[in-house]
Amino acid sequence: MANGPDSGNRGGLSRRSFIAAASAVPLVAIRTGPARAAEFTYKLATGQSLSQPINTRLNEATQRIREASGGRLELKFFPASQLGSDTDLITQVRAGGIEFLNIAGSVLSTVAAGAALTNVGFAFNDYDEVWRAVDGPVGTYVRAQIEKTGLVVPAKAADNGFRMVSSTSKPIRTPEDLKGYRIRVPVSPIFTSLFSALGANPTSINFNELYTALQTRLVDGEENSLVTIEAGKLYEVQKYIAETRHIWDPFWIIANRRAFGRLPEDLQGIVRRELDRAATEERADMVGLTASLKSQLTAKGITFETADREAFRKGLSQAGFYRDWKEKFGPEAWKALESVTGPLA
């Protein structure tokens, strides 16, 4: 576990080496090609800020895929919303304009509603529960729902982090602090539902527009993982972070089914192996970076607040949030979730 700004967890990147590695990710990955032309040249896009761990690990994976395939498969890497916003990228991967995409489950739920199962408010207490769920029954359910839309999920989930509420005007400690509060949320019905149930006024805004929305006070605050808050420099336009850990969100690497199906089985195997490795390594990076970021953000002027998680969960229960989403997801999905979390009410 990381203890300082330059320390990292075992198997992950240290903060200093991670920043160096991230800076080496080009806005378009241009590499010297093999002697022969690639049989398959595909695009891999992300909407995440350049310095986030997922981009470093996916860039490494594209290089390993090229090498392991003997140059037969070239994945051109386009991080940091170069090819459009998150919602644009989902449209493109479904249409085949890009072949691979890393996307947050919360955003993916706009086309695969079942992907929101991991976003049930205050469901997970810690990473032990998260990975038992997403590598187990919850992940099995969500992958099946995503693949019903014509996409392929060629890798295990990566970590988009436990989300916390940040604010400019006041600290957020209890549900009462959210009454009438204008908060930015991803383009995802379950996020809107959660904050509406707590009395806030949620607004869906794409991440690449968030900094400006906070700067101009279009919204009072937002919610994201510490890694995302730091990577997006949101601390420059926020004063408080409440450690609500209200939602855990995964990253899913998805592929256009037709494009993935055109790859011979041996290349599909290489892709699955190397993207799985990238996701596993990114999970470790996120733990280390999150542990070090609290002190870094405090030094940048952020005040951290302890949130009353039980009060928030009670508020959601009283508002019918869990009852409503149990009905929307159906008994199969809810059973998978509660097999890990225990009863949600």
What confidence tens digit (pLDDT) does each residue in 207-220 have?
889 999 999 999 99
Q: Does residue 116 carry a pLDDT above 70? A: yes
Q: How far apart are CA 12 and CA 40, in angstroms?
A: 31
Q: What are phi and psi of 217, to 5 degrees?
A: 60, 30
Domains of the chain: 15-159+251-291 (3.40.190.170), 164-246+300-341 (3.40.190.170)
pLDDT value at residue 186:
87
Contact call for residues 75 and 100 (beta carbons, < 8 A): yes
- The mean per-residue pLDDT over the stretch 325-338 comes to 98
Q: How far apart are CA 272 and CA 252, in angstroms?
A: 13
Q: Edge-to-edge strands of the sheet including 221-224?
A: 201-204, 182-185, 221-224, 164-167, 240-242, 303-305
Q: DSSP code of 241? A: E
What is the dihedral angle through the alpha carbons of 149, 154, 155, 159, rounded to the nearest 10 degrees?
A: -40
What share of the chain has pLDDT > 70, as a percent?
90
Collect all residues with Cβ–Cβ distance below 8 Å to 41 and sequence separation of at least 6. Answer: 74, 76
Q: Which helix (H) or strand (E) holds 217?
A: none
Better pLDDT: 231 or 245: 245
What share of the chain has pLDDT > 90, as a percent?
85
Closest by CA to 103, choosing from 206, 257, 252, is: 252
Sign for the CA dihedral angle at 91, 94, 97, 102 comes to positive
Contact call for residues 268 and 330 (beta carbons, < 8 A): no
Q: Does residue 48 carry a pLDDT above 50? A: yes
pLDDT value at residue 9:
37
Q: Does residue 72 carry a pLDDT above 60? A: yes
User: Radius of gyration (Cα) for the chain, nearest Å?
Assistant: 20
pLDDT value at residue 208:
84
Q: How far apart are CA 30 and CA 75, in angstroms?
A: 10
